[in-house]
Amino acid sequence: MTFTKADFGADFKWGISTAAYQIEGGYSSDGKGPSIWDKFVRKPGKIFQAHHGEVACDFYNNYRNDLQLMKDLNIKHHRFSISWSRIIPEGTGRINRRGIDFYNRLIDHSLELGIEPWLTLYHWDLPQSLEDDGGWTNRNIVQWFSNYTEVCCRHFGDRVKKWIILNEPMVFTGGGYFLGVHAPGKKGLRSFLSAVHHAALCQAESGRIIRGLVPDANIGTTFSSSHIEHYRPLQKDIIAAKKVDALLNRLFLEPLLGMGYPVDDLKILKRMEQVIKPGDENKLAFDMDFIGIQNYTREFVAHTPFVPFVKARIIKADKRNVVTTLMNWEVYPEAMYHVLKKFAAYKNIPPLIVTENGAAFKDEIKDGKINDHERTEFIRDNIQQILKAKKEGANVDGYFVWTLLDNFEWAEGYYPTFGLVHVDFKSQKRTIKSSGHWYSGFLQEI
């Protein structure tokens, strides 16, 4: 199926997504306090080759050039995150004026260039001082996050109209508070369930605060979403896949929609009663203006008696003889179609926006150029799947590529490169890849 930008309609939003810790650097500049990732990257064996984000893409100092690069690439929508500890170093209390000033400059220059800012409040970099008091496992975080939301609304709400509350809450609660592979590195079911419930409460409460303080705001939140299939045509694999789907795709969406947690398909969630207080059920729901969908692949699930609580395991892509990215994720653009159709089928679901999608492949510079045809094909094929879902009735209003610049990719460090633009991390030189040129040309279509 051939397609053009015009096939999506004049109001469809096209952009790119970034995140503060992954690109900003300036980890202690101008009064910024430490975040959980500033500490976690120093733990032996946690990050690929002990990489860290203390400099990263140095966006903190290079933001004007990088915004100009966006403009040159015809990108008119930029989703970025605020570093909580840059504007409130201890997470609560004292406000760092120099941190506020940085984001004001970023927002103002974006608008000057005709780039609309999409502000993400939380993209995983919790202030370390709050983690010292329990972080997401401490119910006080609902008040901490509320205060943080208010600060951002007061300082940025006059110009920022697109607001995203949480980035992939299932990932930062699962990776950071259950598996321990992401910051802050905690493990265990109790810490995970506490973090989940408190994040879900924050997701809705923050929305209510933004609605009250920025009346013309367009408010959303984002979910990591994988298309889940059972590995074998066995009833126990089908049940296992249903459990994993409830955990990965439904855990935060359904309470937001007023449906409660998916306890019927994931019985272990009954233990969340330990942290749920009277009246919480009503506090979990909020009418978002949009839902951000972030899809990269599909997963196959098999039953196993050896994994506690869910009795399920994901069969990694390299064990299935399929084409993969550097993240060992299967290249399967059809996953995007299936996920959009799945989310769009919910009753009273707001419009969907694909707030992240991209791929990490090995890039090589030859004669000063990078011909990353695999990434170009991946992005093009996913856009095609979005159009297919849209034509079949899925209310999809936008697409944001992950990401503009090669950057720090959490536990994988700088090994996997997702950017439309290559970064030489020694010289900070930017080189537009062929995928960047393709996306720019696509966005230029009338």
* Residues 66-75: tens digit of each pLDDT: 999 999 999 9
Q: Which helix (H) or strand (E) holds 228?
A: strand 227-230
Q: Is the pLDDT of residue 1 over 80?
A: no
| pLDDT, mean of residues 229-236 | 98
Q: What is the 3-state secondary structure (H, E, C) of 167-204?
A: ECHHHHHHHHHCCCCCCCCCCCHHHHHHHHHHHHHHHH
Pairing mode, strands 312-315 and 227-230: unpaired
- Total domains in the fold of the chain: 1
Q: Is the pLDDT of residue 411 over 90?
A: yes
Residue 75's region, left for phi above 0, alpha for psi from -120 to 50, else beta, is beta
CATH number at residue 95: 3.20.20.80
Residue 307 lies in a domain: no
Please give the Cα distance from 331 to 351 (Å, whole number): 26
Which active-site residues does the annotation give?
Answer: 168, 356
CA 320 to chain centre: 27
**pLDDT more than 90, % of the chain:** 99
- Degrees (nearest 5) of the Cα angle 199, 307, 294? 40
pTM of the model: 0.98
Residue 420 lies in a domain: yes
Contacts of residue 252, Cβ cutoff 8 Å, sequence gap at least 6: 166, 169, 170, 196, 199, 200, 203, 221, 223
Closest C-alpha to 199, from 126, 264, 150: 126
Whether residue 337 contacts residue 388, with contact meaning beta carbons closer than 8 Å, is answered with yes
Residue 11 lies in a domain: yes
Please give the Cα distance from 90 to 130 (Å, whole number): 7
Whether residue 335 contacts residue 227, with contact meaning beta carbons closer than 8 Å, is answered with yes
* Residues 2-19: tens digit of each pLDDT: 899 999 999 999 999 999
Residue 211 lies in a domain: yes
Residue 324 lies in a domain: no
Please give the Cα distance from 359 to 356 (Å, whole number): 10
pLDDT, averaged across the chain: 98
Q: Is the pLDDT of residue 339 over 80?
A: yes
Closest C-alpha to 310, from 276, 342, 262: 262
**pLDDT more than 70, % of the chain:** 100
* Residues 285-294: tens digit of each pLDDT: 999 999 999 9
| pLDDT, mean of residues 337-356 | 98
Q: Quote the pLDDT of residue 347.
A: 96
Domain that holds residue 377: 5-227+236-296+339-444
| pLDDT, mean of residues 32-37 | 98
Q: Is the pLDDT of residue 122 over 80?
A: yes
Q: Quote the pLDDT of residue 446.
A: 64
In the structure encoding, which two tokens stand for residue 437, read together? Answer: 């040129």
Contacts of residue 152, Cβ cutoff 8 Å, sequence gap at least 6: 82, 87, 119, 121
Helix (H, G, I), strand (E, B) or coil at 20: helix
Closest C-alpha to 395, from 325, 341, 333, 315: 341
Residue 182 lies in a domain: yes
Residue 38 lies in a domain: yes
Q: Quote the pLDDT of residue 445.
A: 75
Q: Is the pLDDT of residue 240 over 80?
A: yes
Residue 360 lies in a domain: yes
